[in-house]
Amino acid sequence: MYVAVKGGERAIENAHRLLANARRGDQNVAEVTLDQISEQLGLAVDRVMSEGSLYDRELAALAIKQARGDLIEAIFLVRAFRATLPRFGASEPVDTGAMRVQRRVSSTFKDIPGGQILGPTFDYTHRLLDPALAEGFMPEVPATAEAATAPTPRVTDILGRAGLIESSPRSEDGASVGDLTREPLNFPAARDLRLQNLARGDEGFLLAMGYSTQRGYGRNHPFAGEIRFGEVEVEFFAEDAGFAVPLGSIELTECQMVNQFKGSATEAPCFTRGYGLAFGQSERKTMSMALVDRALRARELGEEATAPAQDEEFVMSHSDNVQATGFVEHLKLPHYVDFQSELGLLRKLRQEFAKANAPHTMKEAAE
């Protein structure tokens, strides 16, 4: 039974006022602007867009500011915002092969068409704190070189042409695409739903799950076939215009993981693959996602599924940090009545215990 308890309104109101002040911090320090967050904390914005499942840099920056830099709180704010807008429909699937690449590396082939392009990366930095960044740092103008006009085909497409890797699963034109924001999740879940779940899943959770496969809990022998980051064009079929209209471009990171073979009496052995895709520059996220995507294909590939990362119900039910934080953090809300009944039960149990042990204790005392 729930008992309504009133009270605490003024305390709540004042707590929120105090929060607004704590968020602002020392008012002698300049206020951070959304542009500053978007431009200078860009990877935090990328993460909030990915896991908030909403591509809008300005809103993600606002959410980060409002959440005082707590990214899971910011993701929560963005998810709540998306529920306030109508959905016009779904875009045409983006073509990552036509990406204007800003970074593109492969750990499987040194000489890939289009080359290894490092782009803006933390790789090969020494991870030493740089005091020069503390204030007034002006970076050098970026170096330039003549850009090649040659295309940068996906590494998996090159392997695919030689039949060395399995091809991506196709679907019929016009087949419906699963959407876990519209229909409740059922298991077993198809690959489209699994990828949607992983794309908005918590980076830390996916990192740990991916790492667990490398440490032997569902090992799948991965190579980073290719990681690419850059800009892709988005088109949307507009009913009113009667054709697919360009909406502009978004930044994406894609990871193609190449894994050990499958084959059968009728099919020649070939590499298998796992796939990762996320908004912005989200390399750790897409690599982890690709590892977990591959692990979750255990059943389909006839592998023994014994590890947590291969258990789709386990992975998909715990990957969402908004759901997870909601359930964990609800424990701090008032549970007074629940607790009273537990307390009543415990007192009764203790009385029974005391009664059962009473003669024994008296005898001991007499001796």
Partner 1 sequence: MDAVTQNNNQQAQRKAAMAVLAHAEASEIAARLRTLALPGHQDLREPENGLVMLRGRVGGDGAPFNLGEATVSRAAVRLASGEVGFGYTLGRNSEKARLIALCDALVQSRDFSASIERDVIAPLRERLMIRRKQAAAETAATKVDFYTMVRGEG
The interface with partner 1 within residues 243-262 (CB under 8 A) comprises 243-250, 252, 254, 256
Question: CA distances (Å), 225 to each of 99, 109, 170, 269, 347, in order?
Answer: 17, 8, 21, 18, 62
For partner 1, the binding residue among 66, 96, 107, 214 (CB under 8 A) is 96
**92 vs 95: CA distance, rounded Å:** 9
Q: Taking CB under 8 A as the rule, does residue 277 contact partner 1?
A: yes
Structure tokens at 175: 């087949």
Of 212 and 225, which CB lies nearer to partner 1 in the complex structure?
225
Of 120 and 263, which CB lies nearer to partner 1 in the complex structure?
120
The residues facing 231 across adjacent strands are 100, 251
Structure tokens at 123: 């790789």
For partner 1, the binding residue among 42, 208, 219, 233 (CB under 8 A) is 233
- Which range in 8-16, 214-222, 277-285, 321-329 contacts partner 1 by CB under 8 A? 277-285
Q: Where are the beta strands (DSSP E) in 142-269?
A: 223-238, 243-262
Sign of the C-alpha dihedral computed for residues 149, 152, 157 and 161 taken in this order = positive
Q: To the nearest whole angstrom, how small is the minimum distance from the Cβ of residue 25 to partner 1?
A: 28
Q: To the nearest whole angstrom, how small is the minimum distance from the Cβ of residue 191 to partner 1?
A: 6
Q: Taking CB under 8 A as the rule, does residue 170 contact partner 1?
A: yes
Rg (C-alpha) for the chain, rounded Å, is: 27
For partner 1, the binding residue among 14, 21, 91, 351 (CB under 8 A) is 91
Residues found in the chain:
367
For partner 1, the binding residue among 143, 162, 265, 365 (CB under 8 A) is 143
Three-class secondary structure of residue 207 per DSSP: helix
Contact set for partner 1, span 191-230 (CB under 8 A):
191-193, 195-196, 199-200
Structure tokens at 94: 């983006």
For partner 1, the binding residue among 1, 11, 29, 87 (CB under 8 A) is 87
Of 273 and 284, which CB lies nearer to partner 1 in the complex structure?
273
Residue type, 78: V
Q: Taking CB under 8 A as the rule, does residue 234 contact partner 1?
A: yes
Contact set for partner 1, span 28-67 (CB under 8 A):
49-50, 53-56, 58-59
Residue type, 80: A
Determine the size of the site formed for partner 1 (CB under 8 A): 83
For partner 1, the binding residue among 4, 11, 89, 136 (CB under 8 A) is 89
**230 vs 228: CA distance, rounded Å:** 7
Planar angle of CA 338, 319, 90, nearest 5 degrees: 115
